[in-house]
Structure 1
């Protein structure tokens, strides 16, 4: 039996960047598509009454994210603007995803790289439009989508559904109803998807 694979992520999360790089070729390796679902992790943290990261934890996260990316042979340079508001990036993604998931994922990867490798401000709508233009996405078309009420509603609903499903951090993946938190669970996710789970 094939279970849907839902990938919840936030553009402003270093571990989402790492997970996205590891999941980008998941379908080609396993023949199973991944549904990409960007969310606003900050909104979930508020619902959970989660305080901002204390300095000591954030210092560790900077070290650990760089070390983990290096382990997977991925570039990662901690951005000068952290945290950022990923609202515009999420809206651009959802506008594209309905008609062209591959194009939306391509833009998502470009945005993640722009932020986590090249230190560009992906909270800036103009930057997103300029970047998308390099991938053949018409500027006015994307701007229309980023301001579309249906897209705004879709992002809000995706974040609410994630919260209702028990998402408390990112990245978070569901294989069917089986939850996996963290980029370090990708190997388990892949195996679970291949054999439809195991008894524990």
Structure 2
């Protein structure tokens, strides 16, 4: 039986933006299925009683995220609103993912780019609906998804499961029960997938 591979990310995380772009095409490269699981990392921070973001820490993160994106030849412009509430983005993703996973992933990548490159407010449900239309998703259909209780429960439950599994930051990938935190562990994670891990 092949191990599940779960990618936890938050739309308001610059490192999730970098990781998502690096993981595009993962399935084709490795012959394995990567399951995308957006979560609300802010909710996990509250459960962990994490201290608020300090100015010193945010200044470093802004510099490091830009440097890291540049290293991977990706554009990244720090948004004018940070962080944002990604509820609408997450709900749109889960509404689409079960039946149209490829479209959901492409919309997720577009939402990440909209926030981290072109400074769009992805907390605005109307913007999420507009973007969905550009991918051929009926506006009323997607609006139904944003208000669907099953979708709301899915996001809450996925965030709770991530916390229970030990997730304390994003991006985070589990290969089975093997945890990899941070976009800087993706090469190691892919190698782990390719050779079925190693002893340590």
- Corresponding position of 2:111: 111
SS of corresponding position for 1:6: strand
TM-score (norm 2): 0.99
Deviant stretches of 4+, over 6 Å? none
Conserved 8 A contact 1:2-1:196: no
- Corresponding position of 1:188: 188
SS of corresponding position for 2:140: helix
- Corresponding position of 2:170: 170
Matched, 1:7 2:18: no
Q: 1:157 Cα shift?
A: 0.1
* Structure 1 unmatched runs, 5+: none
Distance 1:118 1:140 in 2: 26
Distance 1:36 1:165 in 2: 16
Q: How many residues align?
A: 200
- Corresponding position of 2:121: 121
Q: 1:3 Cα shift?
A: 1.3
Distance 2:183 2:171 in 1: 6
Q: C-alpha deviations, 1:116-154, integer Å up to 9, x for none? A: 000000000000000110110110000000100000000
Conserved 8 A contact 1:6-1:174: yes
Task: Compute the RMSD of aligned alpha carbons.
Answer: 0.6
Distance 1:7 1:68 in 2: 19
Q: 1:2 Cα shift?
A: 2.3
Q: C-alpha deviations, 1:89-121, integer Å up to 9, x for none? A: 000000000111111101000000000000000
* Structure 2 unmatched runs, 5+: none
- Corresponding position of 1:97: 97
TM-score (norm 1): 0.99
SS of corresponding position for 2:28: helix
